[in-house]
Structure 1
């Protein structure tokens, strides 16, 4: 896949999860204008490891996700874009900006479901929803803890990774999973590592509010 339009961001896009963007930089407005002229508009998303989203000069990760545009709305001087994460990609080579970033990329192998993973999937969902509920008490949840997930086990595994209230580098670790079992186990382990931190912060918030927060 050569000369793929790319959108480096300060956040990780996971497969089968939505992405909402407010686009205002001229280079990315140009990119969207070009994409909207093709039948299946897609662009690549990679995490900015160092630097800022606006203005360029950033250091970018080499693993990302293709994003398929499903909706565009025009603002006064910007565009609001809704896209959905698709297949994972690795960046083989960055090209010259045109005026937006472009790269040659390769598809990563999709993760494969095995029915033997069903108990681990159920455990991951329990842990993720418990932690997301705790994060919602602190007004830090990315998603509603009761968010519906897909009936497809591969899609829902990625969606659980997105619902989990984890930092971007933890999410990037999940994006690099080489097996579905590894993804689910990492989701559980990372959430269990984060849980004591959120419990302590929730207790502090409760004490600061006179015991009424929880």
Structure 2
């Protein structure tokens, strides 16, 4: 397990520089397997370096797709996110953080194309608001919202969330939502939070 101070969503990629000895050992052990990868969870309290942190229970598994070994236990990794996981129980942090985890697919529930369309409209409205505040021009909507988004509603909501400048807590709420219905609600709430912050900033200028 690799606790970080950032939240990853399925469909994203993690570029990572590894230098701390315990995580160098983790990378070496992962690379010795047929399917090199590890779990990533958000640190609830504490720091990435040195241990002693508290960790959230929901995270993702990433696969080591590219690695460069710089020697002296230093690596550069590029790791696409594979799927969501949740921690069943933590083990001893020896020689590095370890846990028993399970894959956590979406729980039952569905959202419609109309629901997705509403979220996309809200994201575009946020982009327009930010562009107004910054006095910049927006690209074409289809380009801004990203071509080739997944057709699966649950995965599409992850992809849309990755396009919104939300904080770690809101992004974690999107990740930890049991299914697409709850994820839709979490994402819409996060968009409204960011929009309110931008409007407040704009009103004070």
On whether the aligned pair clears a TM of 0.5, the verdict is: yes
Q: In structure 2, what is the equivalent of residue 19 of structure 1?
A: 14
Q: In structure 2, what is the equivalent of residue 150 of structure 1?
A: 149
Deviation at 1:88, TM superposition (A): 1.7
Report SS of the residue matched to 2:41.
strand
Write the deviation string for residues 62-102 of structure 1: whole angstroms up to 9, x where unpaired: 11111112212344763221112222222122112231111
Distance 1:94 1:135, change over 3 A: farther
Report SS of the residue matched to 2:87.
strand
Stretches of structure 1 that go unaligned for 5 or more consecutive residues are 1-5, 139-143, 208-214
Alpha carbon RMSD of aligned pairs, Å?
A: 2.5
Q: In structure 2, what is the equivalent of residue 190 of structure 1?
A: 190
Distance 1:135 1:36, change over 3 A: farther
Q: In structure 2, what is the equivalent of residue 32 of structure 1?
A: 27
Write the deviation string for residues 30-64 of structure 1: whole angstroms up to 9, x where unpaired: 11111112221121111100000001000111111
Q: In structure 2, what is the equivalent of residue 212 of structure 1?
A: none
Q: For this pair of structures, how many residues does the alignment match?
A: 194
Mapped to 1, the partners of 2:81 and 2:125 lie a distance apart of: 25
- Paired residues for 1:1-214 under 5 Å: 6-75=1-70, 78-110=74-106, 114=110, 117-132=112-127, 145-153=144-152, 154-202=154-202, 204=204, 207=205
Is contact 1:46–1:61 with CA below 8 Å preserved after alignment? yes
Q: What TM-score, normalized by structure 1, do the two folds share?
A: 0.79
Deviation at 1:134, TM superposition (A): 5.0
Q: What TM-score, normalized by structure 2, do the two folds share?
A: 0.82
- Give structure 1 regions of 4+ aligned residues with deviation exceeding 6 angstroms: none
Distance 1:113 1:55, change over 3 A: same
Mapped to 2, the partners of 1:76 and 1:156 lie a distance apart of: 39
